[in-house]
A and B are shown apart, each in its own frame.
Chain A
Amino acid sequence: MHIVDRRLNPGGKSLPNRQRFLRRVKDVAQRAVRESAREKDIKDLGKDGRITVPGDGVREPRFSRQPGTGHQDYILPGNKTYVEGDRIERPPGGGGGGGGAGEGGDGSENSEDAFHFVLTREEFLDLFLEDLELPDLAKRRLAIVETEGLRRAGYTVSGSPANLALSRTLRNSMSRRIALKRPKLEEMTALEAEIARARETGDPGLPDLLQKLEALRERSKRIPYVDPIDLRFRRFEPYPKPIAQAVMFCLMDVSGSMTEHMKDLAKRFYILLHIFLTRRYKHVEIVFIRHTDRATEVDEETFFGSRETGGTLVSSALVEMKRIVAERYSPDDWNIYAAQASDGDNVSSDGPTSTELLRAHILPACQHFAYLEVGDENGPRAGFVEHRTTLWRTYEALAKAGEPLAMRKVNHRRDIYPVFRELFGRKDTKAEA
């Protein structure tokens, strides 16, 4: 008899099966995931990954007999009052005799109609963010996204003394000394002691010993303790180091004209962007800048929570952003993303200033700049000529001039996710759509 402890075996034996299953239900699962994103609060996204897929795609058909057709026999336990020849009314629902003998087939069919299962957060986000891509990453990867780092790469025979690999050098020297039979120190001291003794006693072998000592000395002089050929230096090799850090600038107009609804829309968009960036970068920082007619950097709480009054001066936020970039986030080290939300109001005289700021400073530093114009819940009235806000007109002119600037309008929170997908969707899939 053997006892085998399998508990320490790696788990997840059925993971490949699960992957195959997910691949199978991918389309439906993806739809379900996006549905749930629309309904649920974005904060809870992926926390409870329970989704339901219709049983159709994952049905495993077998030849089986239809219950409730033809002549059926039931043998049942627990007879109390029946005698032979009694008539029993059929139970409703076409089920089998007595209690539930016929239920097997029906029941399993129903349970196959919809299939529930739970996705892990990883799987959920994978499906959720699939075919989204960071814009222009490819273009900039060569130029900016990578820097050079140094890493150890073996040893070299030349180098600066600071990089001397001591133990490696001494190891080489020892093997060389052994191979060339360099006299050991003990050997020579022993010989010297013998010579001293021979001198005292007047041993006739003294000249021999002296000669021997001389030879040893000569030899040890010719075979140095450390030779230049023993030297080894630690070698460092430069390698391209991707910048795995990103900073996300959230710019928002908080003037009186921004309603709670608009802020909520903006918040949802920021959260999506944050989830998305955290999937791509190890390290993501967020900078919140809110502005009325002057801009300040605030924490998240204040950003979404408190109200301000005052006019609207978009360029103030852009100036603030430029300052922060210059101070803390050098574009060489950071991938910079910016998302601006506003209801579109701006002092008309501010237009040229903003344009200039964006064109000259902000856009060149950014990987992506998205402008989200949030509107009333009721949205633009149908049949109305689309109203263009001041800010929209300003940015539109920029975008038309070929600047990398994405802009969308959002009125209802159900539009957030589609708009987000539009902004970040893979270009080829977008072309198909």
Chain B
Amino acid sequence: MVASLSRKTSAAPPAGELLFSGNDWDFHTIRRIHDACEAVAGPELGLSWYPNQIEIITAEQMLDAYASIGMPLFYKHWSFGKHFAQQEASYRRGLMGLAYEIVINSDPCISYVMEENTATMQTLVIAHAAFGHNHFFKNNYLFKQWTDAEGILDYLDFAKGYIARCEERYGHQAVEQVLDAAHALMSQGVHRYPRKKRPDLASEQRREREREQHGEQIYNDLWRTLPAKAGAAKGDPALERRKALLELPQENILYFLEKVAPRLRPWQREILRIVRLVAQYFYPQRQTKVMNEGCATYCHYRIMNALSQKGQLSEAAYLEFLTSHTNVIRQPNFDDRSFGGHNPYALGFAMMQDIARIVEQPTQEDRDWFPDIAGTGDAMGVLRDCWENYRDESFIAQFLSPKLMRDMRLFHVVDDPDEPEMRVEAIHDERGYRKMRRSFARQYDVAWLDPDIEVVDVDLEGDRRLILHHKALNRITLQKDDARRVLQHLADLWGYDAVLKEIDPASGAVLVEHTASARPIFF
């Protein structure tokens, strides 16, 4: 149901007039708030965004949305029911507060806001989600490259319908088994890099011509007289050919199974594809948690302050905003009982503010570290550029300043199993900054965090065994139990045996080996 409010009634109030007073709000208030935020976000911050769609929902609907990873429509699977039961139970017992909003990377950008929010919270949430996140979704390169904001809802609609039809035709259990297996491999179901385009004839010919010309230009008869390198072992041509045909090595296991698994039926492949595309859609979000939240938090902070300065927020509302803002960006220290890792809101917001400081009031240190941006004066320009062109890992590697490291009192601990104690590798001092920043950035590199597992070969002439390698970075092996279960799913989909070798990349030694045989459940 669309609340159709006419444009006339909602002209942005002149500066100095309160947007609302008290906690209550109605649709007119929401529209006024949105327009006031828009007046700041556009001209002052220079943001650009997808058109907004703000949806008011109840607590129960918020729980529903949680259970289907935030999407307004999704296919059905028991695991969502499990999460719903879990979350509902902890919510009912008062262990968990619900989010104030959920925002979806779609065009138009949908923000869910809770009906319980006060008017101030609605302002905060609209500034945060409908402008901050929205700008990030629309402009960040990862989202532009990997997600299709316009089509996602249609695609999910298709996916939901398709899976429902499969359930009708092939039975709940059969579909559930495919989904279980696909979900287990979901984080191995993304392309991390754009794939190579298949070359077409014209460009191939052009390339061949250029190579020939180049060869003629640098022709020197002397080269012919050089003896051939002894023992330049040619690879096994059959293996090369097989690898080329199967596009091996392949780290997108779901993609590999979808295209190559010999015994899957078409609808099973389509389900794998659906799960894979959903995983791909969410992959940028995993890579940009700090930046995304930092961007949204910085935007809501700027917008709320601007509204307050214009006199559109009352003192009480401003204080309420500050309270929840400080709650959101709280970062407990490592020895605090509530410490649970780095808070992406806190880190992101601190970095954005720090960049603004460097751009506007740099110290000598900043000028040494960030000659490109220090003192250029256009903070929003620099920030917009960051939001557009970086992800967490590169952003931290590039912009974490020594001052912020000092402020956060960061230190780096190394836990080497060969040593009796853990060692403090670096602290926030001159010698530690760069080392620490590098390690810190790496902790946000999803490709580094996710285990690096690839399909390397298939024994096509023998028992069709699928061979996978896990490059055990720093000799960190996989959790045995889970690895065994996932491998079982993998073997089921493949239809034959599968073996996963965990290999120490430094020495090439096999640390652990898991095997699984296909169960006859899919065929």
Q: Could you tell me which A residues sit within 8 Å of B by CB distance? A: 1-9, 11, 13-14, 16-24, 58-66, 69-80, 82-90, 96-101, 103-105, 109, 115-118
Nearest 7 pairs between A and B by C-beta?
A78-B333, A21-B81, A17-B81, A70-B476, A61-B485, A70-B475, A76-B334
CB distance from B493 to the nearest CB of A (A): 14
Alpha-carbon gap, A99 to B478, bound state (A): 23
Q: Which of B84, B184, B337 contacts A61 (CB 8 A)?
A: B184
**Interchain CB contact under 8 A, B331 and A19:** no
CB distance from A129 to the nearest CB of B (A): 22
Task: List, in ascending order, chain A residues with CB within 8 A of B476's CB.
Answer: 65-66, 69-72
**Interchain CB contact under 8 A, A7 and B56:** yes
Residue of B whose beta carbon sits closest to that of A21: B81
Residue of B whose beta carbon sits closest to that of A58: B82
CB distance from A113 to the nearest CB of B (A): 11
Q: Could you tell me which B residues sit within 8 Å of A by CB distance? A: 1-3, 5, 27, 30-31, 34-35, 38, 51-58, 60-61, 63-64, 67-68, 76-82, 84-86, 88-89, 92, 108, 112, 115, 172, 176, 180, 183-184, 186-188, 331-337, 339-342, 408-417, 421-429, 431-432, 436, 439-440, 442-443, 450-451, 453, 470, 472-483, 485-486, 489
**Interchain CB contact under 8 A, A74 and B412:** yes
**Interchain CB contact under 8 A, B184 and A89:** no
Residue of A whose beta carbon sits closest to that of B416: A71
CB distance from B442 to the nearest CB of A (A): 8
Given contacts A88-B424, A105-B479, contact A2 B108 (CB under 8 A): yes
Given contacts A59-B485, A60-B79, A60-B184, contact A79 B478 (CB under 8 A): no
**Interchain CB contact under 8 A, B480 and A66:** yes
CB distance from A242 to the nearest CB of B (A): 31
**Interchain CB contact under 8 A, B187 and A17:** no
Apart from A14-B80, A17-B80, A74-B413: 19 A-B pairs, beta carbons within 8 A? A1-B54, A3-B54, A4-B53, A5-B56, A13-B61, A20-B81, A60-B183, A66-B476, A70-B476, A78-B332, A78-B335, A78-B408, A78-B409, A84-B432, A85-B424, A86-B423, A86-B424, A87-B424, A100-B340
Residue of A whose beta carbon sits closest to that of B339: A99
Residue of B whose beta carbon sits closest to that of A98: B334
**Interchain CB contact under 8 A, B341 and A23:** no
**Interchain CB contact under 8 A, A18 and B478:** no
**Interchain CB contact under 8 A, A17 and B408:** no
Alpha-carbon gap, A99 to B300, bound state (A): 31
Task: List, in ascending order, chain A residues with CB within 8 A of B61's CB.
Answer: 6-7, 9, 11, 13
Decide if the interface of chain A is mainly helix, strand, loop or mixed. Answer: loop
Alpha-carbon gap, A55 to B262, bound state (A): 33
**Interchain CB contact under 8 A, A3 and B482:** no
**Interchain CB contact under 8 A, A99 and B336:** yes
Q: List 23 A-B contacts (CB under 8 A).
A: A1-B35, A3-B3, A4-B56, A6-B57, A14-B67, A14-B84, A21-B85, A58-B82, A63-B483, A66-B476, A66-B480, A70-B417, A71-B414, A75-B412, A77-B408, A79-B410, A82-B424, A84-B429, A86-B423, A87-B421, A90-B422, A98-B339, A99-B335
Q: Which of B85, B332, B470, B478 contacts A118 (CB 8 A)?
A: B85
Task: List, in ascending order, chain A residues with CB within 8 A of B88's CB.
Answer: 117-118
Given contacts A59-B485, A78-B409, A84-B427, contact A3 B31 (CB under 8 A): yes
Given contacts A3-B30, A71-B474, A84-B431, contact A65 B57 (CB under 8 A): no
**Interchain CB contact under 8 A, B415 and A90:** yes
**Interchain CB contact under 8 A, A62 and B187:** yes
Given contacts A65-B478, A70-B417, contact A84 B3 (CB under 8 A): no
**Interchain CB contact under 8 A, A76 and B410:** yes
Task: List, in ascending order, chain B residues with CB within 8 A of A69's CB.
Answer: 417, 475-477
Task: List, in ascending order, chain A residues with CB within 8 A of B440's CB.
Answer: 75
Residue of B whose beta carbon sits closest to that of A24: B78
Task: List, in ascending order, chain A residues with CB within 8 A of B56's CB.
Answer: 3-7
Q: Which of A1, A59, A116 contacts B53 (CB 8 A)?
A: A1
**Interchain CB contact under 8 A, B184 and A17:** no
CB distance from A69 to the nearest CB of B (A): 5
CB distance from A314 to the nearest CB of B (A): 50
**Interchain CB contact under 8 A, A97 and B422:** yes
Alpha-carbon gap, A23 to B175, bound state (A): 14
Given contacts A3-B3, A65-B451, A71-B476, contact A19 B81 (CB under 8 A): yes
Task: List, in ascending order, chain A residues with CB within 8 A of B180's CB.
Answer: 60
Task: List, in ascending order, chain A residues with CB within 8 A of B84's CB.
Answer: 14, 17-18, 21
Task: List, in ascending order, chain A residues with CB within 8 A of B443's CB.
Answer: 73, 75
Task: List, in ascending order, chain B residues with CB within 8 A of A63's CB.
Answer: 187-188, 450-451, 453, 470, 478, 482-483, 486
Alpha-carbon gap, A9 to B38, bound state (A): 28
Task: List, in ascending order, chain B residues with CB within 8 A of A11's CB.
Answer: 58, 60-61, 64
**Interchain CB contact under 8 A, A64 and B451:** yes
Given contacts A13-B64, A86-B424, A98-B413, contact A78 B334 (CB under 8 A): yes
Q: Which of A4, A14, A76, A88 contacts B64 (CB 8 A)?
A: A14
Task: List, in ascending order, chain B residues with CB within 8 A of A65's CB.
Answer: 451, 476-479
Alpha-carbon gap, A4 to B333, bound state (A): 41
Q: Which of A9, A24, A66, A98 contacts B478 (CB 8 A)?
A: A66
**Interchain CB contact under 8 A, A20 and B424:** no
**Interchain CB contact under 8 A, B58 and A7:** yes
Task: List, in ascending order, chain B residues with CB within 8 A of A61's CB.
Answer: 184, 481-483, 485-486, 489
**Interchain CB contact under 8 A, A72 and B81:** no
**Interchain CB contact under 8 A, A5 and B478:** no
Task: List, in ascending order, chain B residues with CB within 8 A of A16's CB.
Answer: 76, 81
**Interchain CB contact under 8 A, A74 and B333:** no
Task: List, in ascending order, chain B residues with CB within 8 A of A4's CB.
Answer: 1-3, 53-56
Task: List, in ascending order, chain B residues with CB within 8 A of A73's CB.
Answer: 412-415, 425, 439, 442-443
Alpha-carbon gap, A194 to B61, bound state (A): 76
CB distance from A15 to the nearest CB of B (A): 8
CB distance from B250 to the nearest CB of A (A): 15
